């Protein structure tokens, strides 16, 4: 079983982009990801017995005085260190990343809801990823894998639940869904180490597309789902038809039948 954990970024009104993103992990990897965050907590907050909620935006704040305990025990530099180490874990561990960045203007012109569009896009990409995994599994006489999607709880829960039912029954606008069985489960990000990682993925992509900040994005860029040189795990839905970002270059290459 592969589980895709997703969180969103850019829901506030002044954001030019909405991002839904996260990581797909094979079930056995979850333990190791959780252990890594627990170890980070022991290193920076040795006296803390309850799980500390790591949230990307919190670790970036310029002024730490308003932060909740125990984060307010550390200065800005130490908080940045934690953030950097979380991106190091994402780069090092065996996860496959998926993300969709929707320019809000672009969605508005097309009368699309950014969250629903991004969700449908990612479900389709995750299903295609599983098809590739399973094609290989059949060739090598191994067991086929199914997919499960877990989303951070938000105001969109009801809408997304309804959309998910429709996608399961009728497929996405592009194709039928074969391998994603349970979509979606909702969990509070605070209670799930894996959803906290998903938040860091979404935040890095949001920073890249909304603010042109490439540092964290570049760290995780090699982890987006890809086959050969073609990037399948990242999509950029935008008015800019000449964009040469990782996602748009990959799409242009596929449309031209090139392997890039």
If the CB atoms of residues 74 and 243 are measured against Zn ion, the closer one turns out to be 243
Question: What letter would DSSP give residue 50?
Answer: S
| Tokens found for residue 47 | 């006296």
| Tokens found for residue 66 | 């308003």
If the CB atoms of residues 68 and 229 are measured against Zn ion, the closer one turns out to be 229
CB of 246 to Zn ion, least distance (A): 8
Instruction: State the first-to-last Cα distance of the chain, in angstroms, to the nearest integer.
Output: 29
Please work out the total of residues on this chain that contact Zn ion, with binding judged by CB under 5 A: 4
Do residues 123 and 177 make contact, with C-beta atoms less than 8 angstroms apart?
yes
HSE-CB of 7 using CA atoms within 13 angstroms: 25
Which stretches of the chain are assigned E, i.e. beta strand? 2-9, 17-26, 95-103, 147-152, 180-187, 226-227, 230-231, 234-237
If the CB atoms of residues 193 and 236 are measured against Zn ion, the closer one turns out to be 236
Name which of residues 82 to 141 contact Zn ion (CB under 5 A): none
CB of 226 to Zn ion, least distance (A): 16
Interacting span for Zn ion (CB under 5 A) from 68-76, 79-87, 114-122, 234-242: 234-242
If the CB atoms of residues 100 and 248 are measured against Zn ion, the closer one turns out to be 248
If the CB atoms of residues 54 and 209 are measured against Zn ion, the closer one turns out to be 209
CB of 240 to Zn ion, least distance (A): 7
CA dist., res. 232 & res. 250, Å (int): 7
* Count of Cβ atoms closer than 10 Å to residue 122 Cβ: 23
Establish if 243 lies at the interface with Zn ion (CB under 5 A). yes
Establish if 236 lies at the interface with Zn ion (CB under 5 A). yes
CB of 228 to Zn ion, least distance (A): 20
Establish if 248 lies at the interface with Zn ion (CB under 5 A). yes
Establish if 208 lies at the interface with Zn ion (CB under 5 A). no
Q: Is the peptide bond before 70 cis (omega within 30 degrees of 0)?
A: yes
CB of 41 to Zn ion, least distance (A): 36
Interacting span for Zn ion (CB under 5 A) from 27-35, 125-133, 135-143, 231-239: 231-239
Dihedral sign for Cα atoms in the order 227, 229, 234, 240 = negative
Interacting span for Zn ion (CB under 5 A) from 121-129, 130-138, 218-226, 232-240: 232-240
Interacting span for Zn ion (CB under 5 A) from 45-53, 120-128, 191-199, 233-241: 233-241
Establish if 245 lies at the interface with Zn ion (CB under 5 A). yes
* Count of Cβ atoms closer than 10 Å to residue 135 Cβ: 11
Q: What 3-state DSSP class applies to 151? A: strand
Q: Is the peptide bond before 233 cis (omega within 30 degrees of 0)?
A: no
In terms of Cα–Cα distance, which of 50, 68, 48 is closest to 59?
Answer: 68
Interacting span for Zn ion (CB under 5 A) from 67-75, 123-131, 142-150, 248-256: 248-256
Binding site for Zn ion (CB under 5 A): 236, 243, 245, 248
């Amino acid at each position: 079983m592969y589980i895709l954990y997703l969180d969103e970024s850019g829901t506030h009104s002044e954001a030019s982009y909405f991002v839904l993103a996260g990581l797909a992990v094979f079930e056995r990897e979850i333990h190791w990801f959780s252990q890594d965050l627990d170890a980070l907590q022991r290193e920076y907050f040795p006296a803390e017995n309850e799980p500390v909620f790591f949230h990307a935006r919190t670790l970036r704040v310029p002024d730490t005085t308003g932060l909740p305990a125990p984060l307010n025990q550390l200065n800005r530099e130490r908080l940045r260190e934690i953030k950097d180490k979380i991106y190091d874990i994402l780069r090092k561990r065996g996860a496959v990343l998926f993300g969709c960045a929707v320019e809000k203007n672009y969605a508005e012109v097309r009368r699309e809801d950014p969250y629903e569009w991004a969700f449908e896009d990612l479900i389709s990409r995750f299903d295609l990823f599983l098809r590739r995994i399973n094609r290989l599994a059949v060739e090598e006489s191994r067991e086929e894998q199914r997919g499960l999607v877990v989303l951070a709880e938000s105001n969109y829960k009801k809408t997304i639940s309804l959309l998910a039912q429709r996608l399961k029954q009728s497929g996405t606008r592009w194709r039928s869904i074969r391998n994603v069985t349970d979509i979606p489960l909702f969990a509070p990000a605070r209670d799930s180490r894996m959803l906290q990682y998903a938040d860091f993925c979404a935040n890095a992509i949001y920073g890249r597309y909304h603010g042109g900040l490439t540092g964290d994005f570049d760290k995780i860029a090699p982890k987006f789902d890809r086959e050969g040189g073609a990037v399948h795990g990242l999509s950029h839905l935008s008015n800019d038809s000449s964009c040469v970002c990782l996602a748009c270059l990959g799409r242009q290459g596929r449309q031209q039948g090139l392997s890039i």
